Amino acid sequence: MGLFSKKTKQSAQRPVPQHIAIIMDGNGRWATKRGMPRYGGHAYGAETFRTIANYCKDIGVKYLTVYAFSTENWKRSQEEISTIMGLLGKYLQEALLDMEKNRVRFVFSGDLSRLSPELRDMCIQTQERSKDYDGVQVNFCLNYGGRDEIMMAARRFARDCMEGKQSPENLDEGLFSSYLYSAQVPDPDLIIRPSGEKRTSNFLLWQSAYSEYVFTDVLWPDFTPEDLEKAIAEYNQRSRRFGGVK
């Protein structure tokens, strides 16, 4: 029986982080290594997402935040952007059909106004129709940027002040957090970046203040539940002090 069979997963005794975030990176290099055009890797990356999201649900992770497309990714070729957006549309269509069975709650983080109206509608529908599901909550970061999120929150808070609904004296970390896309979601415990890069690339700048990072050289399309378990094992070795003393 495989180490990560259903039975083992259910009887596993290790603690599982409440909130895992993943920068799904390395699709392009994965494709290039196989002599495929860069954008060919995104379809495989989408399959990996499906596997990992289901696995997170099985082991009891409450929140899974994934970085799918950044505010900077518009710099890529039109061909690559269209492939990614097309795959997202296809994925969401399937997610809408399988929703009953999967019981995954989807929340979208990012500026959806730049997406095509069809894709934006699908995001809104998926979020709306899955809002009562009790499986893992997937926060899907699409046209997301950490700086953009903080700026958007500052703008909304300033507007509320101008309209007399808020005042600057009231602003504290909790109140500011409630203006972010991630309002109601606890900060990520563990952030995983596959693909060998060691940077945040504008991901969860506010929320990652005390997150534990795990970097791995595995490219996202090759990332397996075993790799996730390795990251969780590394996380479980860490001593989180939040600025205090153990």
From ligand IPE, Mg ion, none, interface partner of 27 (C-beta below 5 to 8 A by class): ligand IPE
**Site map 189..228 versus ligand IPE, x via CB under 6 A:** ------x-x-x-x---------------------------
SS (HEC) of 100-130: HHHCCEEEEECCHHHCCHHHHHHHHHHHHHC
The answer to whether the CB of 65 falls within 8 A of the CB of 187 is: no
| Residue 127 touching ligand IPE (CB under 6 A) | no
Q: Is 61 in a helix, a strand, or coil?
A: coil
Choose the binding region for ligand IPE from 9-17, 26-34, 94-102, 174-182 (rule: CB under 6 A): 26-34
Choose the binding region for ligand IPE from 54-62, 66-74, 100-108, 115-123 (rule: CB under 6 A): 66-74
From Mg ion, ligand IPE, none, interface partner of 232 (C-beta below 5 to 8 A by class): none
- And the tokens for 127? 């979020």
Q: What strand order describes the sheet that includes 105-109?
A: 105-109, 137-144, 63-70, 19-23, 190-193, 212-215
Rounded-to-integer distance, Cα 165 and Cα 220, Å:
44
| CB closest to ligand IPE, residue no | 28
Output 179 or 213, the one with its CB closest to Mg ion.
213
Choose the binding region for Mg ion from 19-27, 45-53, 59-67, 76-84 (rule: CB under 5 A): 19-27
| Residue 44 touching ligand IPE (CB under 6 A) | no
| Residue 108 touching ligand IPE (CB under 6 A) | no
| Residue 42 touching Mg ion (CB under 5 A) | no
Nearest-CA neighbor of 181 among 225, 213, 150? Answer: 150
Nearest-CA neighbor of 223 among 26, 4, 6, 21? Answer: 26
> Which residues, 6 or more positions from 130, have their beta carbon under 8 angstroms from its beta carbon?
99, 104, 105, 106
Please give the residue ranges that form the binding site for Mg ion (CB under 5 A): 25
User: Among all residues, which ones are annotated catalytic?
Assistant: 25, 73
